[in-house]
Structure 1
Amino acid sequence: MAAITPFELKIPESELVALADRLDHARWPEQEPVDDWSQGTKLAALKELVAYWRIEYDWRRCEARLNAIGQFTTEIDGLSIHFLHKRSSRPDAVPLIVTHGWPGSVVEFLGVIDELTEPSDPEAMAFHVVAPSLPGYGFSGKPTGTGWGVERIAKAWAVLMDRLGYEGWVAQGGDWGSAVTTAIGQLAPKGCKGIHLNMPIGRPGPDDMQSTDPKVLKAFQALGFYQEWDSGYSKEQSTRPQTIGYSLVDSPIGLAAWILEKIYYWTDNGGSPWDALSMDQVLDDIMLYWLPATGASAARLYWESFAKFGDGKVTIPSGASAFPKEILPAPREWAERTLTNLVYWNDLDKGGHFAAWEQPELFVAELRACFAAILAQ
């Protein structure tokens, strides 16, 4: 069995100085000729973020937080996998693996790990939390060959949970994490008791085209907006990840603009990305792409698996939480075509695509409600 090795982040100061130098010598385009985000990330918003990044942002704070939680690496199927792992002190804690997506990272879970592992309410369900970085993301290894799609990742996560000694566990995910967690549900590996998604995957059927159900109409409207105006990133990353990768790895300004656009469009905000997330939160995430230079390797997951997103059926117990500003909302009837043993569903009144990041208290409550229902079966 491959070893599990403690991992401590200690980025050389020279790397932070080099980043500051790049920010100081940024070459900016002219301001967009529109007064909204319709042409992409607004110059004023990006300059505001970069000024904060250069002067006030403290990477060492994030680094210390990640180290305090507990970081590890282990080799699975020839690739080094980085993961956060925090065990609960509770003997009845449920092992849980949570998976992030793009343009997220394990920092999405920094606001929920403590409450999941050591609940403020002693009667609340507790979890042992495992949060791996996807292959090619964060401080996981970068695949040198093709084949690391969602099914292979799902198999790797099952190996990881077994290697950690967890005989009975549950899985959760959103975005790519939703695809990986759905794949775990389809594989139904030994030990997995059920799954929860905060981006339930579902596709319309022929009869839905004539539906007057408000939820169905909302889903079609969101799907249309995504396909026409919001999916350029996925088309590029799923067809030419290497091409965009040069810009994302070489330019911190380009990387920040690429990610900030999605923070704006995909969060539940009132007109500013900072309504939903702080600059520190967004920059912590950007740094997990910048420091390990993963712009290209992360994009390749789209090349591997975007066309297969959500294929197949899940027969093990599953649950889903539908947040109102999800980029591709799937009504329950659509989700049930994939999640054929759906035991928990809840439509929430606030929150967007990055559920754990944006609404940590609601996210924790949803996981407890869902997995209580699943484990009670």
Structure 2
Amino acid sequence: MKTIKQYKQNFTGIFTFALLFLMITAGLAQKKQIANNTSESIRPCEYHATQTQLDDLKRRIQNTKWPDKELVTDNTQGVPQATIQSLAKYWANDYDWRKIENKINSYPNFITKIDEVDIHFIQVKSKHKNALPIIITHGWPGSIIEQLKIIGPLTDPTAYGGKAEDAFDVIIPSIPGYGFSGKPTELGWGPEKIAQTWVTLMKRLGYQEFVAQGGDWGALITDMMGVQAAPELIALHTNMAGAVPNEINAAAFTDQPEPTNLSIDEKKAYGQLAFFYKHGLAYAQEMGNRPQTLYAIEDSPIGLASWILDHDARSLELISRTFAGKNEGLTKDDILDNITLYWLTNTAVSSSRLYWENKLAFFAPKNVKIPVAVSAFPDEIYTTPKSWAEKAYPNLVYFNKLEKGGHFAAWEQPETFSKELRAAFKSVRK
């Protein structure tokens, strides 16, 4: 018969074992939770601006301290006061952020952590079988808002005049430092790093084969994906091709006379490049050299808006016409949706740092050897001649010169852009 002492010893042993078991189980559960939060977990997300943020934005717009009006009748001194004051009036009195916020949240939004940075992306899967996965990258001063209009036509082509076999699964990430993605706290997040990150993202989503598309920074990032040539990437499409021959680029940058023996398309492209380097490159030089100096565009919504509007001459002309009451391609809400996203996410400076990180020439060939498709829009910073595209991309599988559209092609001309992507990747579908 056991003594009371023996019962106490047995109870103590059982209690100790149970406590150890619970501690080990809890520890394993905690480790699993930490792993899920920091490794390959993908979690749904939504964004909701606070009313305090929106009220503060309106107050700041209304309290803008305006400079004197420009002394010229064109855009040569920058964004015309009439354009920016019309924008400010609409922004403060009529614009409703909640409309685009609801639209963004109507799509499946996700966050996943890659190399210690939260990567935000929209993923919309097609209902059609054998849809081709595509990752589409925005640029500056753009955002995921650039691509929202093409989600429907790409994922559900039969509802937009296409065929079921034209369908895509669409993935639209926010570049690190932009929009709803995290802001890198360490150096090194240039186009090459982001290109690697996009491949990691697509593989994490389970795609064994996919294509990529980009304009502006997205074009450079997508080109670098092509250079790195991950086996899962089967082709790419660009609407701002890295195709300018080095000697042409050097001549345009230094404002030399037009080279001889250029074709009509090449002459047009040279003139566009020379104009951009002389009149439109200032923002890129400032952000490339001193992004942290741009405190004003983080503090003043009108400062931010004017900085964004002055990206390139053709886009500014279109936006000026829009705020003068002549809608074409972009609406007032389109323009302010994008600017307000920068404001609310406090990413004016963090997005600028990509220019500082970058060491690549925007328009120069990158030695991409995988299949490439190029769409050349007339109001792009430069309209790519087919002759240059063929030299820059030895595996050029598609080229088309469009009649209408500019730098933000997917945003401005979504129907045309969607048709371009269907045609561009037709030859690589299985």
- What is the TM-score of this pair, normalised by structure 1? 0.95
1:330 positional shift: 2.6
- 1:161-203 deviation digits (Å, cap 9, x = unpaired): 0011111111000000000000111111121110000111112
Cα separation, 2, equivalents of 1:131 and 1:24: 34
Q: How many residues align?
A: 375
Query: Contact 2:208/2:232 (CA < 8 Å) preserved in 1?
Result: yes
Tell me which structure has the larger Cα radius of gyration: 2
Change (3 A) 1:153 1:73: same
Cα separation, 2, equivalents of 1:239 and 1:336: 33
Higher helix share: 2
Cα separation, 1, equivalents of 2:266 and 2:225: 27
Tell me what 2:183 maps to.
142
Equivalent of 1:242 in 281, 292, 295: 292
Cα separation, 2, equivalents of 1:3 and 1:251: 37
Cα separation, 1, equivalents of 2:317 and 2:50: 36
Q: Secondary structure at the match of 1:39?
A: coil
Structure 1 residue runs of 5 or longer lacking an equivalent are: none
User: Are 1:216 and 2:266 counterparts?
Assistant: yes
Cα separation, 2, equivalents of 1:270 and 1:243: 26
Query: Contact 1:97/1:171 (CA < 8 Å) preserved in 2?
Result: yes
Q: Secondary structure at the match of 1:349?
A: coil
1:270 positional shift: 9.6
Cα separation, 1, equivalents of 2:259 and 2:405: 27
Cα separation, 1, equivalents of 2:276 and 2:361: 17
Query: Contact 1:71/1:83 (CA < 8 Å) preserved in 2?
Result: yes
1:146 positional shift: 1.2
Equivalent of 2:415 in 340, 361, 366: 361
Cα separation, 2, equivalents of 1:359 and 1:306: 31
- 1:329-364 deviation digits (Å, cap 9, x = unpaired): 332222233322101000011111111001001100
1:110 positional shift: 1.3
State how 1:166-245 maps to structure 2 within 5 Å: 166-204=207-245, 206=247, 209-244=259-294
1:30 positional shift: 1.1
1:206 positional shift: 4.8
Cα separation, 2, equivalents of 1:361 and 1:322: 15
Equivalent of 1:103 in 127, 141, 158: 141
Cα separation, 1, equivalents of 2:319 and 2:427: 34
Query: Contact 1:313/1:339 (CA < 8 Å) preserved in 2?
Result: yes
Equivalent of 1:279 in 332, 336, 354: 332
Query: Contact 1:267/1:354 (CA < 8 Å) preserved in 2?
Result: no
1:368 positional shift: 0.2
Change (3 A) 1:306 1:286: farther
- What is the TM-score of this pair, normalised by structure 2? 0.84
Cα root mean square deviation, aligned: 1.8
User: Are 1:253 and 2:302 counterparts?
Assistant: yes
Q: Secondary structure at the match of 2:422?
A: helix
Equivalent of 1:160 in 184, 201, 226: 201
Query: Contact 1:267/1:276 (CA < 8 Å) preserved in 2?
Result: no
Cα separation, 1, equivalents of 2:132 and 2:337: 28
Tell me what 1:295 maps to.
348
Q: Secondary structure at the match of 1:73?
A: strand
Q: Secondary structure at the match of 2:78?
A: coil
Between the aligned residues of both structures, percent identity stands at 44
User: Are 1:131 and 2:172 counterparts?
Assistant: yes
